[in-house]
Structure 1
């Protein structure tokens, strides 16, 4: 099955807000595509078609008429079109050529857009047209003469929703999760419980993996500033270990090619496992808090300085206090009078490579930047 993403990609000048919004939407589509196309699943493969409406979507009507309509007509697997990333006359009129064929959703058609004959009036900033009878995992399309579904119905199956932040996090981290994170399907532990018991995994350890999956499973965080971004999605896997050594399980697959995996340790620590096991934070919450704090500090700092290797030892932290919510072990955060300092020792310890020690100094912070 197919889904077309329609946005403006070729801009003469960079526009951070628009470019970042498009990038986030593409990342969400990629996450869903990888989940859907998992070789262990028997569901239909998802293809994402990228349609370029040119600078400021000024060619949206032409691209729709000359390219998308023929493609949709010849390929019955295409179930919808999403995007339309700005309100101009071209994006207002472009869907008219498609509405007789399949559903579309858009996020930028304003209430002033002219209503289409026989279609939903433009009552909100998030509109949907559902004139056909196609259906897919993305939602049931309104049958002829039926009641229009809400816009969220067509994307409910994608499982890319704002996150209900778990309890026990700071306000900063809860806000970060709700604004920047997605949640997708993850491992269903109970489906593997019997097999894991046959492999000798203790029941208590399986329960621990299940608890992790319930609380964190499927959470897709933005890239962390170190460890090449951290896990792409928090998603557990088969426990490994022994009664003598303790048990570990995967926290989630790597976002990029790094020589270690992300693991949850015997006592619930979040860490990396390569040449050796190195716990970075004493809890998973600590990892999430550290990523949230990095984004917060990066937004409000007037200056960000990166130092590596032996230069990390030159940091003067006498007037700094440890940031408790990150629950730091190998990695720590420190709060000063107008700065935050993040120190990453995990890679250096894991690979016996002191040159990998890294620190970021976020300076010029006011009270909100320090504590918000």
Structure 2
């Protein structure tokens, strides 16, 4: 069932976010994954495997046609801006064999970007920046939970300078990171190994692996406070 009809598994915050901003639009005609042939890691054309059919068609059923505008509070120089970006949850044609399993493309954020948006057959949301699959979130619901948090913080003040994009954010060292998250509570529904959130009533911090093929992937941070103080 579509997420707008049955938001089971999402937090009250994410449900409220979708009720307020999300719409469902018709999806363009496409060939069902059941009838696709794909190239495996050796380059051979093979029938789409069952795990790919189940995950890709499940994504289409659950999220197809979903649209929303996501607000983000960012700092550029000394100025605060609220950036508005449109997200589309429609499938693209791309299907890729990974070291284990498969990934498939979808539109994602409607912005000029150096990455492609993917879902892995194990459920993870990730991107490709020209190389291998890069995990971003453990699942699409985790992604939506993070978006709900970003939207909730749109009226807060960023307390670190840095680019507003996760492939070009300002990196951070261990001591400063520890200071930023001190006293904050983790937000598990929006967090995973590559993208973690901490919040309180007055401050919020997002720590994530940059969307880049660099090894190891650098750590980036976004932080906000309700009143603009660190």
Q: Are residues 191 and 205 of structure 1, via their aligned partners in 2, closer, same or farther at CA, if it must alter by over 3 Å?
A: closer
User: In the alignment, is the contact (CA less than 8 A) between 1:310 and 1:355 conserved in 2?
Assistant: no
Alignment of 1:217 with 2:64, yes or no, is yes
Deviation at 1:241, TM superposition (A): 0.9
3-state SS in 1 of match to 2:90 = coil
Instruction: Please give the residue correspondences for 1:1-372 in structure 2 after superposition, counting only pairs within 5 Å.
Output: 163-164=4-5, 166-186=7-27, 191-196=32-37, 199-223=46-70, 225=72, 232-238=87-93, 239-241=95-97, 245-274=100-129, 275-299=131-155, 301=156, 303-308=157-162, 309-311=170-172, 313=174, 314-315=176-177, 316=179, 317-336=181-200, 338-347=202-211, 350-352=212-214, 357-364=219-226
Which consecutive residues of structure 2, in runs of 5 or more, have no partner in the other structure? 39-44, 74-82, 163-169
User: In the alignment, is the contact (CA less than 8 A) between 2:33 and 2:48 conserved in 1?
Assistant: no
- Number of equivalenced pairs: 197
Q: Which has the higher contact order (CA 8 A, sep 6+)?
A: 2
Residues 260-269 or 330-339, more deviating: 330-339
Deviation at 1:323, TM superposition (A): 0.7
User: In the alignment, is the contact (CA less than 8 A) between 1:306 and 1:358 conserved in 2?
Assistant: no
Deviation at 1:166, TM superposition (A): 2.2
Deviation at 1:195, TM superposition (A): 3.1
Cα distance in 1 between the residues matched to 2:114 and 2:147:
21
RMSD: 3.1
The TM-score normalised by the length of structure 2 is 0.72
User: In the alignment, is the contact (CA less than 8 A) between 1:189 and 1:209 conserved in 2?
Assistant: no
- Considering fraction of residues, name the structure with more strand: 2
The TM-score normalised by the length of structure 1 is 0.46
Deviation at 1:256, TM superposition (A): 1.5
- Considering fraction of residues, name the structure with more helix: 1
3-state SS in 2 of match to 1:256 = coil
User: In the alignment, is the contact (CA less than 8 A) between 2:171 and 2:221 conserved in 1?
Assistant: no
User: In the alignment, is the contact (CA less than 8 A) between 2:35 and 2:47 conserved in 1?
Assistant: no
3-state SS in 1 of match to 2:159 = strand
